[in-house]
A = this chain, B = another copy of it.
Amino acid sequence: MPTMTAAQKRSQVKADYDAFLAGCPSRQLLDRISDKWVALILAALGSDGPHPAGDCTGEPQSMRYSELSRRLAGVSQKMLTQTLRSLERDGLVTRTVTPTVPVTVTYELTDLGLSLHHLMRAIKEWAEAHMDEVLGNREEYDTRST
């Protein structure tokens, strides 16, 4: 196609670039963990005690659907189910159905999921170490421009 407007060329370049981005492994990982509920589900499944979500120090455990929805107070069933499905699809959690009546479903981190959970802890640690600094900068910036 020799006849291509400048606008068409631009959107072509953009499409290519987007495709490149979508194919980038770190981009994909980022999309995965940036999900609000992914992080929390990982934290919940990665912890073991009765401590609040976000705190995570111990061995992974299996949890029932209803347990998860209680631990992650604000989540809608839709989002919880959707997120769990996608995590299962990625091989980060296992879904086990026990045909009791009524049916019992438990979720557990896989080894892969656990390794990702450890990565999240690193993020958490950076956040705890530097986030106050960021917040300070933010406040200073806002007052400066007043």
Known: A119-B126, A122-B122, A130-B115. A138 touches B29 (CB 8 A): no
Q: Which residues of B contact A13 (CB under 8 A)?
A: 73-74
Among the stretches A16-24, A61-69, A99-107, the one at the interface with B is A16-24
- Give chain A interface residues in 46-62, CB to chain B under 8 Å: 54
- Give chain A interface residues in 128-146, CB to chain B under 8 Å: 128, 130-134, 136-138, 141-142
Q: Is the CB of A128 within 8 A of B17?
A: no
Q: Which residues of B contact A24 (CB under 8 A)?
A: 54
Q: Is the CB of B90 within 8 A of A123?
A: no
A34–B131 alpha-carbon span in the complex (Å): 15
Q: Identify which of B14, B21, B74, B134 contacts A18 (C-beta below 8 A).
A: B74
User: Residue A80 at the B interface, CB < 8 A?
Assistant: no
